[in-house]
Structure 1
Amino acid sequence: MVPCIRLDLDCAAICKAALDYVSRDSRYAGDILQQCARICRACGEECNKHEAEHCKACAEACFKCAEACEQHQSA
Protein backbone atom coordinates (compact mmCIF):
# COMPACT_ATOMS: atom_id res chain seq x y z
CA MET A 1 0.00 0.00 0.00
CA VAL A 2 2.97 2.35 0.41
CA PRO A 3 3.29 3.08 -3.35
CA CYS A 4 -0.46 3.74 -3.44
CA ILE A 5 -0.32 6.21 -0.58
CA ARG A 6 2.65 8.01 -2.13
CA LEU A 7 0.79 8.34 -5.41
CA ASP A 8 -2.29 9.58 -3.55
CA LEU A 9 -0.17 12.35 -2.04
CA ASP A 10 1.44 13.17 -5.40
CA CYS A 11 -1.99 13.25 -7.02
CA ALA A 12 -3.40 15.59 -4.38
CA ALA A 13 -0.41 17.92 -4.70
CA ILE A 14 -0.51 18.12 -8.50
CA CYS A 15 -4.29 18.64 -8.45
CA LYS A 16 -3.89 21.58 -6.08
CA ALA A 17 -1.14 23.03 -8.26
CA ALA A 18 -3.25 22.58 -11.40
CA LEU A 19 -6.15 24.37 -9.74
CA ASP A 20 -3.86 27.25 -8.78
CA TYR A 21 -2.45 27.57 -12.33
CA VAL A 22 -5.85 27.37 -14.02
CA SER A 23 -7.53 29.77 -11.60
CA ARG A 24 -4.99 32.49 -12.35
CA ASP A 25 -5.03 31.72 -16.10
CA SER A 26 -1.31 30.97 -16.13
CA ARG A 27 0.29 30.48 -19.51
CA TYR A 28 1.70 27.24 -18.07
CA ALA A 29 -1.69 25.83 -17.09
CA GLY A 30 -1.66 23.45 -20.07
CA ASP A 31 1.67 22.02 -18.98
CA ILE A 32 0.55 21.41 -15.42
CA LEU A 33 -2.77 19.95 -16.61
CA GLN A 34 -0.88 17.48 -18.78
CA GLN A 35 1.19 16.36 -15.80
CA CYS A 36 -1.88 16.29 -13.58
CA ALA A 37 -3.67 13.95 -15.98
CA ARG A 38 -0.61 11.68 -16.17
CA ILE A 39 -0.21 11.46 -12.39
CA CYS A 40 -3.95 11.03 -11.78
CA ARG A 41 -4.07 8.13 -14.24
CA ALA A 42 -1.07 6.49 -12.58
CA CYS A 43 -2.74 6.94 -9.20
CA GLY A 44 -6.00 5.48 -10.47
CA GLU A 45 -4.22 2.47 -11.91
CA GLU A 46 -2.38 1.86 -8.64
CA CYS A 47 -5.54 2.22 -6.54
CA ASN A 48 -7.40 -0.16 -8.86
CA LYS A 49 -4.98 -2.92 -7.84
CA HIS A 50 -6.53 -3.01 -4.37
CA GLU A 51 -9.87 -4.54 -3.42
CA ALA A 52 -10.81 -2.10 -0.66
CA GLU A 53 -13.88 0.00 -1.39
CA HIS A 54 -12.07 3.26 -0.59
CA CYS A 55 -9.33 2.32 -3.08
CA LYS A 56 -11.90 1.74 -5.83
CA ALA A 57 -13.53 5.09 -5.02
CA CYS A 58 -10.14 6.78 -5.13
CA ALA A 59 -9.35 5.18 -8.49
CA GLU A 60 -12.64 6.39 -9.94
CA ALA A 61 -12.00 9.94 -8.70
CA CYS A 62 -8.47 9.89 -10.12
CA PHE A 63 -9.68 8.78 -13.55
CA LYS A 64 -12.40 11.47 -13.55
CA CYS A 65 -9.81 14.09 -12.63
CA ALA A 66 -7.49 12.92 -15.42
CA GLU A 67 -10.35 13.21 -17.91
CA ALA A 68 -11.23 16.70 -16.66
CA CYS A 69 -7.61 17.83 -16.99
CA GLU A 70 -7.45 16.49 -20.54
CA GLN A 71 -10.74 18.15 -21.50
CA HIS A 72 -9.73 21.48 -19.99
CA GLN A 73 -6.34 21.31 -21.65
CA SER A 74 -7.86 20.80 -25.10
CA ALA A 75 -10.47 23.55 -24.61
Structure 2
Amino acid sequence: MYSQSFEECIQACLECMKACNVCYDACLGEEDVKMMAECIRLDRECADICAYAAKALQSNSPFAKQICILCAEICEACGNECKKHDHGHCKRCAEACFMCAEECRKMAS
Protein backbone atom coordinates (compact mmCIF):
# COMPACT_ATOMS: atom_id res chain seq x y z
CA MET A 1 0.00 0.00 0.00
CA TYR A 2 1.45 3.30 -1.14
CA SER A 3 1.90 5.81 1.67
CA GLN A 4 3.68 9.03 2.66
CA SER A 5 6.61 6.99 3.99
CA PHE A 6 6.95 5.41 0.52
CA GLU A 7 7.09 8.90 -0.99
CA GLU A 8 9.78 10.06 1.46
CA CYS A 9 11.89 6.99 0.74
CA ILE A 10 11.41 7.35 -3.02
CA GLN A 11 12.53 11.00 -2.82
CA ALA A 12 15.60 10.07 -0.74
CA CYS A 13 16.48 7.34 -3.26
CA LEU A 14 16.14 9.70 -6.22
CA GLU A 15 18.19 12.41 -4.51
CA CYS A 16 20.88 9.89 -3.63
CA MET A 17 20.92 8.54 -7.19
CA LYS A 18 21.43 12.07 -8.48
CA ALA A 19 24.21 12.83 -5.96
CA CYS A 20 25.98 9.57 -6.82
CA ASN A 21 25.78 10.27 -10.55
CA VAL A 22 27.18 13.78 -10.03
CA CYS A 23 29.94 12.43 -7.77
CA TYR A 24 30.78 9.66 -10.24
CA ASP A 25 31.14 12.13 -13.09
CA ALA A 26 33.15 14.61 -11.00
CA CYS A 27 35.46 11.84 -9.71
CA LEU A 28 36.29 10.92 -13.30
CA GLY A 29 37.56 14.47 -13.74
CA GLU A 30 39.78 14.47 -10.65
CA GLU A 31 43.53 14.66 -11.10
CA ASP A 32 44.18 11.29 -9.44
CA VAL A 33 41.37 9.17 -10.88
CA LYS A 34 43.04 5.96 -9.72
CA MET A 35 42.77 7.16 -6.10
CA MET A 36 39.03 7.68 -6.71
CA ALA A 37 38.42 4.20 -8.14
CA GLU A 38 36.55 2.80 -5.13
CA CYS A 39 34.45 5.96 -4.86
CA ILE A 40 33.56 5.73 -8.55
CA ARG A 41 32.67 2.04 -8.27
CA LEU A 42 30.44 2.57 -5.24
CA ASP A 43 28.82 5.66 -6.79
CA ARG A 44 27.72 3.50 -9.74
CA GLU A 45 26.53 0.67 -7.51
CA CYS A 46 24.64 3.05 -5.25
CA ALA A 47 23.00 5.03 -8.07
CA ASP A 48 21.79 1.77 -9.62
CA ILE A 49 20.28 0.33 -6.42
CA CYS A 50 18.66 3.66 -5.53
CA ALA A 51 16.96 3.80 -8.94
CA TYR A 52 15.84 0.21 -8.51
CA ALA A 53 14.56 0.80 -4.97
CA ALA A 54 12.55 3.84 -6.08
CA LYS A 55 11.02 1.80 -8.92
CA ALA A 56 10.24 -1.10 -6.57
CA LEU A 57 8.46 1.24 -4.16
CA GLN A 58 6.56 3.01 -6.93
CA SER A 59 5.31 -0.31 -8.30
CA ASN A 60 4.57 -1.75 -4.83
CA SER A 61 6.93 -4.67 -5.39
CA PRO A 62 6.47 -7.59 -2.98
CA PHE A 63 10.27 -7.43 -2.56
CA ALA A 64 10.41 -3.72 -1.72
CA LYS A 65 11.41 -4.39 1.90
CA GLN A 66 14.37 -6.59 0.93
CA ILE A 67 15.42 -4.16 -1.80
CA CYS A 68 15.34 -1.29 0.71
CA ILE A 69 17.50 -3.27 3.13
CA LEU A 70 20.09 -3.88 0.39
CA CYS A 71 19.84 -0.26 -0.75
CA ALA A 72 20.55 0.94 2.82
CA GLU A 73 23.66 -1.28 3.02
CA ILE A 74 25.03 -0.04 -0.30
CA CYS A 75 24.23 3.59 0.52
CA GLU A 76 26.07 3.22 3.83
CA ALA A 77 29.13 1.77 2.07
CA CYS A 78 29.10 4.51 -0.56
CA GLY A 79 28.66 7.24 2.07
CA ASN A 80 31.55 5.87 4.11
CA GLU A 81 33.80 5.85 1.04
CA CYS A 82 32.75 9.33 -0.10
CA LYS A 83 33.32 10.88 3.32
CA LYS A 84 37.00 9.85 3.10
CA HIS A 85 37.50 12.46 0.35
CA ASP A 86 37.65 16.24 0.71
CA HIS A 87 35.93 17.06 -2.58
CA GLY A 88 32.64 18.92 -2.27
CA HIS A 89 30.87 16.46 -4.55
CA CYS A 90 31.98 13.57 -2.33
CA LYS A 91 30.79 15.34 0.84
CA ARG A 92 27.37 16.06 -0.73
CA CYS A 93 27.15 12.49 -1.96
CA ALA A 94 27.95 11.08 1.48
CA GLU A 95 25.17 13.19 3.03
CA ALA A 96 22.65 11.98 0.44
CA CYS A 97 23.78 8.37 0.93
CA PHE A 98 23.37 8.49 4.70
CA MET A 99 19.93 10.14 4.39
CA CYS A 100 18.82 7.50 1.89
CA ALA A 101 20.14 4.68 4.09
CA GLU A 102 18.11 6.07 7.00
CA GLU A 103 14.91 6.36 4.92
CA CYS A 104 15.36 2.86 3.47
CA ARG A 105 15.84 1.40 6.93
CA LYS A 106 12.65 3.11 8.12
CA MET A 107 10.83 1.77 5.08
CA ALA A 108 12.07 -1.78 5.72
CA SER A 109 11.18 -1.83 9.43
Compute the TM-score of the two structures, normalised by the length of structure 2: 0.66
Distance in 2 (alpha carbons) for counterparts of 1:56 and 1:19: 23
Q: CA deviation at 1:71?
A: 1.0
Distance in 2 (alpha carbons) for counterparts of 1:46 and 1:39: 11
User: RMSD over aligned Cα, in angstroms?
Assistant: 0.6
Q: CA deviation at 1:54?
A: 1.1
Could you list the structure 1 runs, at least 4 aligned residues long, displaced by more than 2 angstroms after superposition.
none
Q: CA deviation at 1:64?
A: 0.4
Identity rate, percent: 53
Q: Does 1:9 align with 2:44?
A: yes
> Which has the larger Rg?
2
Deviations 1:42-73 (A, max 9, x none): 00000000011111111000000100101111
Q: Letter of the 2:38 partner, please give it.
A: P
- Aligned residue pairs total 74
Q: Letter of the 2:61 partner, please give it.
A: S
Structure 2: gaps of 5 or more residues? 1-35
Deviations 1:9-65 (A, max 9, x none): 100000011011111111100010000000000000000000111111110000001
